[in-house]
Amino acid sequence: MARKINFDPAPSHEREADQASSLPASAKSRPLLGMERSIKQSSALGAISQSLGGMTDKVKRADEIEQKLIEGQVIIELEPSQIDNSFVADRMDASEEQSTAFRELIREHGQNVPILVRPKAGNESRYEVAFGHRRLRAARELGIKVRAVVRQLSDEQLVIAQGQENSGRTDLTFIERARFAARLEDRKFTRETIMAALAVDKAALSRLIAVARRVPAEIIESIGPAPAYGRVRWQELTELLEKQENRSRAERIVSQPDFASLDSDKRFEALMSDIKTRPARVQSENWSTADGTQAARISRGSKRLTMVFDDRTAPKFGDYVKGRLQALYDEFKAENSSA
* Section 199-214 average pLDDT: 94
Task: State pLDDT tens for residues 2-43.
Answer: 444 444 544 444 433 343 333 334 333 333 333 333 333 334
Question: Would you call 304 helix, strand, or coil by DSSP?
Answer: coil
pLDDT of amino acid 105:
87
Question: Going by C-beta distance under 8 Å and a sequence separation of 6 or more, which residues neighbour residue 74?
Answer: 149
The residue type of 145 is K
DSSP state of 291: T
Is residue 335 over pLDDT 60? yes
Average pLDDT of the chain to the nearest whole number: 77
CATH number of the domain bearing residue 180: 3.90.1530.10
- Structural domain boundaries enclosing 97: 1-8+58-203
Element (H, E) at 250: helix 244-254
Least reliable range by pLDDT among 124-138, 232-246, 258-272: 124-138
In a domain, 65, yes or no: yes
How many residues appear in the chain? Answer: 339
In a domain, 191, yes or no: yes
Is residue 314 over pLDDT 60? yes
In a domain, 330, yes or no: no
> What is the rounded CA–CA span in Å between residue 55 and residue 57?
7
Smallest CA-to-CA distance from 88 within 150, 137, 32, 156 is with 156
| Whether 171 and 295 share a structural domain | no
End-to-end CA distance of the chain: 76
Is residue 256 over pLDDT 50? yes
In a domain, 233, yes or no: yes
pLDDT of amino acid 42:
38
pLDDT of amino acid 86:
87
pLDDT of amino acid 61:
53
Quote the pTM value.
0.54
| Whether 144 and 4 share a structural domain | yes
The tally of domains found in the chain comes to: 3
Is residue 160 over pLDDT 80? yes
CB atoms within 10 A of CB 136: 22
At residue 194 the predicted structure's pLDDT band, cuts being 50, 70 and 90, is: very high
Chain centroid, CA 307 distance in Å: 47
Smallest CA-to-CA distance from 73 within 114, 104, 108, 33 is with 114
Going across the sheet that includes 75-78, the strands are 75-78, 146-150, 115-120, 123-131, 83-84
In a domain, 48, yes or no: no
| Whether 98 and 195 share a structural domain | yes
| Whether 90 and 129 share a structural domain | yes
Chain centroid, CA 181 distance in Å: 10
In a domain, 81, yes or no: yes
Is residue 91 over pLDDT 60? yes
| Whether 113 and 81 share a structural domain | yes
In a domain, 316, yes or no: yes
Phi, psi of 297 (to 5 degrees): -125, 130
| Whether 149 and 272 share a structural domain | no
Farthest CA pair distance, the chain? 119
Is residue 235 over pLDDT 90? yes
Decide which of 158 and 61 is more confident.
158
| Whether 272 and 315 share a structural domain | no
pLDDT of amino acid 302:
60
Q: Which of 173, 203, 233 is the last residue of a domain?
A: 203
In a domain, 42, yes or no: no
Question: Going by C-beta distance under 8 Å and a sequence separation of 6 or more, which residues neighbour residue 26?
Answer: 37, 38, 39, 47, 51
Q: Which of 170, 203, 236 is the last residue of a domain?
A: 203
| Whether 152 and 4 share a structural domain | yes
CB atoms within 10 A of CB 299: 13
Is-contact 179 224, C-beta < 8 A?
A: no
DSSP state of 4: P
> What is the rounded CA–CA span in Å between residue 245 and residue 279?
11
